Amino acid sequence: MISINTILKLLSLPIRLLWVIVKYPFLGGTNQKFRNDLKNSLKLIVFRFGLSLSVKDTAYLAKKSTQTVINSLKPSYPKLTNLNKYGKSYDASNVWIVEAENRSNSDPIIIYLHGGGYRLNTNPGHISSLLSAYHLLDEDKRKKTSILVLDYGLACHGHYVGSQVYELAATYKKLAAQGNTNLILMGDSAGGNLGVAFLQYLKQENDPKLPWPKSAVLISPWVKIVPDAYQLTPGHSYYENEKHDMLSASVARSEERKKSMFGGKNYANLLISPGNLPYKTSDWSDIPTFNKKGYSTFVIFGEHEIFRDDICEWTHYALKSPLEIPKQDSRGVFNPKVYEYKSSSDDEAYVDVVLEPWGIHVAPLFFEDEVTKKLEKQPNLKLKDLDEDKFLGTVKIAQFLNDTL
């Protein structure tokens, strides 16, 4: 039975959307990033609604399977979805976006791990952003690249956080057993958490039969699932950025939420929420994907997202990134000398960390879908043709994949 609180939120949603429309000509959009963007301002309100619901009530939103969502994009993007195996099952838990024709075991397979707080299922925005990234690859890279989407269990359906690592492990082991050696993890938000936790799983398993992921692409990774009380006070991103972001700090520490997500087990665990433990460099220094020559990792997060401080701290320990949060507001301008760190040593993994000016949580996925529409109309559109100022996240993700695949 849906809660009264959710019913009231649902009834108030049209009023909140109408208010955005009414005030837009005079005051602009919902935050600094979207002050001149009504469509994304409205979209942000809808996402805030969905993510504000209790874990139990999100079950009413998380009814479509990943395969259903993937195939629902065919009418909107017939050219972009005309791919080998698009929407076909690899097995009961995984669906192809594309499987490269005549692929070899050394060709890259991207395993995509969707976000949604471990309680919302795959969103069309996840898939459209994957289509954009794929079609922006150089032709030689694109022909060899495959993308697989994991449809893991959700907390709103009784699958507590932590169980998803073992679902990913089953997929990974199956691919490895078939001889595949070039596996890439790509995840956003909760999917980013899952990717990070899985690297710790591989470290603990220490199985020589399992290759380390060649790359990790992490978009607003949820490295610390439960914030400390002090983080909800002035001077911290949970407090300062709630007015900008799609996520709410006010529900982050609720007991109901923790019980529904963890079932009473300890979440301060490297396989669940590494940020809830004291960070130690030694926990990360022997993970090849983060440190060893021939491997690579990309992280992007937003100046205006509530997870900003957590993600930045994690990159210091796991990736040896010196990137700090500037004290001055970016004014929405990307200066790579200030907002990006790229490793320079040829003897270590290639690391690229990007802080998006005025960026909010997983902005490249849900608020840059104009790129997908452009690609559907102009199949020959190249990465160099995109406006980096407008589509920073999409450009940076595609550049990294082009450089590393």
Per-residue pLDDT tens over the stretch 95-149: 999 999 999 999 999 999 999 999 999 999 999 999 999 999 999 999 999 999 9
- For every residue of 221-238, DSSP letters joined together read ----SS--GGGGSTTSHH
| pLDDT at residue 266, rounded to an integer | 93
Strand pairing report for 350-356 and 340-342: antiparallel
Q: Hey, what are 166's tokens?
A: 């073992």
In the chain, what are the domains? 1-57 (no CATH), 62-404 (3.40.50.1820)
Q: Within the chain, which residues score under 70 in pLDDT?
A: none
Query: Phi and psi dihedrals of 309, rounded to 5?
Result: -65, -40
- Rg of the chain over Cα atoms, rounded to whole angstroms, equals 20
| pLDDT at residue 57, rounded to an integer | 85
> Residue 403: left if φ>0, alpha if ψ -120 to 50, beta else—which one?
alpha
Tell which residue, 145, 120, 23, has the closest CA to residue 365: 120
Report the amino acid identity of residue 18.
L
Task: Render pLDDT for 33-89 as a digit per residue (tens, 0 to 9).
Answer: 999 999 999 999 999 999 888 888 888 888 889 999 999 999 999 999 999 999 999
Tell which residue, 293, 345, 351, has the closest CA to residue 323: 351
Q: Hey, what are 53's tokens?
A: 């619901």
- With b for 16 or more beta-carbon neighbours within 10 A and e for fewer, the 289-308 pattern comes to bbbeeebbbbbbbbbbbbbb
Q: Hey, what are 344's tokens?
A: 């320079």
Query: Could you give the angle at the alpha carbon of 14 between the alpha carbons of 13 and 18, nearest 5°?
Result: 120
Q: How far apart are CA 11 and CA 3, in angstroms?
A: 13
Report the amino acid identity of residue 42.
L
131 to 85, 123, 185, 400: CA distances (angstroms) = 14, 13, 16, 15
Q: Name the 3-class secondary structure at 246.
A: coil
- With b for 16 or more beta-carbon neighbours within 10 A and e for fewer, the 139-164 pattern comes to eebbebbbbbbbbbbbbbeebbbbeb
Q: Name the 3-class secondary structure at 148.
A: strand
Sign of the dihedral through C-alpha 93, 299, 184, 273: negative
**Single pTM value for the model:** 0.96
Which alpha helices (DSSP H) does 105-163 contain, by range? 124-135, 139-144
Is residue 279 a contact partner of residue 314, using CB atoms and an 8 Å limit?
A: yes
Query: Phi and psi dihedrals of 257, rounded to 5?
Result: -65, -45
| pLDDT at residue 55, rounded to an integer | 87
